């Protein structure tokens, strides 16, 4: 039976790598991101099993439209990967930009909540799986990191959602990578994970046998200590 995965933040990096890995594994993929051009190009590369859904996860109506379009096209939703997120432009609290924090919190926290709120009714029907993108920054204290604090929220929410979804046979987990070779990080930093490494972890979580709930996968570059 063909299964369907909805990915937010799908146009590049971890989201795009997961879309390609899922498609290779036989999944239908619904792809949501704000970058319409890159999203359309990714869907074209994957082929008929991909649906491009340009939109902003911080807007409730847009994520709801994306979920509805996914179910209309593919018939059901078996898994969702709430991957959209971003960092802060300046480190630290004293030196940070409150306006920038607002945009980051809207995406990393509110966008995540809206994605879960919109996908859970459909995941309930399939006893599906929700995966959230956390971070090593959500497991370790980092000097003055407001971004890291948003990821601590993600890790806490993942555990709370796992208990909520468990009541009806659903699963929730968080994938927590260290530095990944994406535009999110400085290209000069050596020894990063590849987006495909994170994609493989997501696939393990959504394809695990029903008896197993993988609540966290923590990935670190082997030759780095962050």
pLDDT tens readout for residues 51-85: 999 999 999 999 999 999 999 999 999 999 999 99
Q: Please pick, among 27, 81, 101, 147, the residue that the annotation labels catalytic.
A: 147
Backbone dihedral angles phi then psi of residue 110, each to the nearest 5 degrees: -65, -45
Q: Residue 180 forms beta bridges with which residues?
A: 193
From residue 199, give the alpha-carbon distance in Å to each of 17, 51, 87, 105. Answer: 6, 18, 20, 24
pLDDT of residue 183: 60
Tell me which architecture the domain covering 4-219 has in CATH: 3-Layer(aba) Sandwich (3.40)
Region 147-161 average pLDDT: 97
pLDDT tens readout for residues 216-226: 999 999 875 44
CA distance 77 to 32: 14
pLDDT of residue 190: 61
183-218 residues labelled b (16+ CB within 10 A) or e (exposed)? eeeeeeeeebbebebbbbbbbebbeeeeeeebebbe
The full set of domain ranges for the chain reads 4-219
Backbone dihedral angles phi then psi of residue 81, each to the nearest 5 degrees: -120, 100
Region 8-19 average pLDDT: 96
Tracing tokens 């630290």 back to the chain, one arrives at 92
CA distance 25 to 7: 15
Active site residue 218: no
CA distance 80 to 172: 10
């Amino acid at each position: 039976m063909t299964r369907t995965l909805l990915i937010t933040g799908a146009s590049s990096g971890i989201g795009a790598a997961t879309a390609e890995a899922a498609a290779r594994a036989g999944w239908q993929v619904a792809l949501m991101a704000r970058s319409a051009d890159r999203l359309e190009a990714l869907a074209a590369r994957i082929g008929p099993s991909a649906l491009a859904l340009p939109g902003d996860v911080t807007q409730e109506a847009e994520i709801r439209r994306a979920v509805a379009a996914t179910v209309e096209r593919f018939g059901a939703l078996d898994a969702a990967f709430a991957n959209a997120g971003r960092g802060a432009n300046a480190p630290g609290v004293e030196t940070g930009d409150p306006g920038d924090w607002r945009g980051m919190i809207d995406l990393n926290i509110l966008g995540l909540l809206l994605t879960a709120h919109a996908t859970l009714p459909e995941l309930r029907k399939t006893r599906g799986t929700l995966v959230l993108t956390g971070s090593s920054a959500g497991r370790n204290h980092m000097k003055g990191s407001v971004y890291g604090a948003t990821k601590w929220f993600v890790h806490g929410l993942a555990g709370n959602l796992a208990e909520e979804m468990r009541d009806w046979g659903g699963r929730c987990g968080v994938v927590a990578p260290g530095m990944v070779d994406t535009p999110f990080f400085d290209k000069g930093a050596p020894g990063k994970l590849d987006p495909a490494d994170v994609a493989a972890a997501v696939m393990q979580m959504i394809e695990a046998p029903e008896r197993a709930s993988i609540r966290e996968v923590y990935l670190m570059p082997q030759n780095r200590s962050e």
